[in-house]
Chains A and B, each alone.
Chain A
Amino acid sequence: MDEDRSAIGSVVGPVSPATASEAKAADTEAAAITRSQRHAATLWIAVVPTIFLAVFFGWPLVTMLHRGLAWSAFSSVLGDSGIRSVVWFTAWQAVVSTVATVVLGVWPAYVLARYRFTGRRVLGALLAVPFVLPTVVVGLAFLALLPDTWRRSVPAILVAHVWMNVAVIVRTVGSFVSQLDPGLEDAAATLGASRWKTLRHVVLPLAKGAILGSAAIVFLFCFTSFGIVRILGGPAHPTLEVEIWRRTTQSLDLSTAAALSVIQLVLILGALSIWTWRQRRAANGPVSMRTKTAFRTASSPAESLAVAVTAVVAAAFVLVPVGRLVAQSMQSSRPGNPLAAWQAIVHSDLGASLWASARIAAGAVLVATVMGALASIAIAGNPRAGALLDAGLMLPLGTSAVTIGFGLLITFDHSPIDLRGSWVMLPLGHALVAAPFVVRAVLPTLRGIDPDLRHAASTLGAGPWQVWRNVDLPVLRRALIVGAGFAAAISLGEFGASSFLARSGTETVPLAIARLLGRPSKLNLAEASALATVLMVVIVVILLVLDRQPGAMGQSDFHRRRARPSRLAGTERSR
């Protein structure tokens, strides 16, 4: 239950866009006819987010395509063997990272979903932490943790990718397993299957859709990984993302960078469509599901041991790199003063980066929440046109933050809109990345509102605006707070787009960390770790507060009296 209610779960966890229609499966014909007549009064609301998307995402994309598809740039890129090896490395490291993440994630996912043990909820929350940490923080934690020979190496990148993304598997697969009818496993047991064989022959085959779905997301994250690769890979191991950034900011070779962005975009779209197609074929038929989680307690000593070992290893897995990061912040060169780095961030220009991050996050939250909320209203009110806007808003997520930053950079550096040197570029870029998360947080609640609740208000004399103000808005309050919180966390940790857009005076905390790591010294490393610790604490606190939001208006209360079947987790995912 806590899995489904949690703020993180609402984004990482299974998304089932079909719930609105299902929720109404049992209602009366009269209500159905009423719904069929709802006119498209909300369509005009789509105008604002559509313009936002077109100007700050569509236009830069077209600019980029225009530059990147210029034949000279494209042919020189295709003939360059160095770039071919970059593409090859980007692809294979993503595949290896994904496979390792899935292999390591499935067992803890199963244990968390099925067994009742002390600290289960804490462990669940703990395992979600790496995924929400900024990539720069993760990179720095592993820089602090790994032995010198491992630094700036491919294994370091792979380990950090696995560490971050295990949360995706644990959430998605775990949520599927917890809804799977345990009767199936009991049936297997009566047929002579051991726990292990049951997992192997019953649970895993059924969870195939959920596993493939979450693997696709992990692959996408690893393929477009920027912060981790820049910090842990060093100049010897660039991925496409890092190469685009290097060409833009260091060799000022914009046409090659644009061509690389186009290649990156094509590869992502290709990989995702192959995946969607495969997944559709692999999807199972209807599976017996239940809404209430059925936990079991370990029945044999060996089983208890397995659960205990899993829990301890999983906790250590999360905590060791985090602990190492905090420890490193106290290892400055000055003897006798372990807090030197902490004093430095207060007194030096690093304090300015905290202020810049806060200001930019506030702007990003405002833009992302307003755009996300308006888009959600339009999407919920207009099934067909809304799906288009929904997909459009998801696009910035699929194209990677580096592409967004690069596109904004080359589009708004000249007339008609010249934003060079303006700090507003950063919140705008961050809002593009964050808006889809706001939509994911708000839309299910909005769709969950029974239209008859609004009808009840209108028969009591509430006009359209009063209905929105007095029914929709109060019910959406919690979802809006969750969405805004996500936007804040995303903006505070954003690194890819910011790397292109920051100017003097707008150096955010992740950028300051990267700058310090560029001139490695013991004090710089300690200061970077102190900044990273601050960022980590702020983001974890934000997400904890979101998880603890009083849920009076939560979706599950809303449907308290109207239980409905859950859907297959993985196969319902929109991307």
Chain B
Amino acid sequence: MPLPYYVSPEQMMKDKAEYARKGISRGRSLVTLEYGDGILLVAENPSTLLHKISEIYDRIAFAGVGKYNEFENLRIAGIRHADVKGYSYSRGDVTAKALANAYSQALGNIFTQDIKPFEVEVLVAEVGDANGARNEIYHILYDGTIEDERNYAAMGGQSDEIRRFLKDHHKEGMPLNEALQLGVRALTVTQNKTLNERDLEVAVLDRTKARRKFRRIPLEALGQLLGTAS
């Protein structure tokens, strides 16, 4: 029987982190912005069928970057968590915070215990209600690190540059079209190309909507908001 040879835990974690980061940085980016009526999520995603952004519960949305099958698993687990909780207590008791913590635990465990870490970053956003409760945005990394973000967040390939760009340009209470145009500019800040509505997946958590706040923005409306409609 061959002896397993020794690798220091430090080295092992470093290797895993590097592996995960590489996987994530290959993927396209995603940004989230708070705007006047809620939270906007914009992803560069040419597919109209395989989503990166999705609805979790009444006021909560999910977004993932990296390996599709891995964040898809997390997405479904999140919907289950939220639906069971809302069914057994009440709809108002489902919070982004509890969900973000569950994701953080799951990703942390996978990172330390499995040979291959998940190559994903996920984002959980919850829109506040009209009477002043504030928006919440949680950003969870491949190793379970969890951060709460204000005003804007970016994940995926060139997220550092995008974040810097958003820091300089984000204003509070922007209307939807302005926020969307800023989001799209942020996604292209590191690359010499323009994105049109066909390259984008866009959704909002709109606090003016009735119960379920999540809404995908369809292609035609996207063109109008971007001001590119002919």
Bound together:
no
Measured CB to CB, the residues of B under 8 A from A are: none
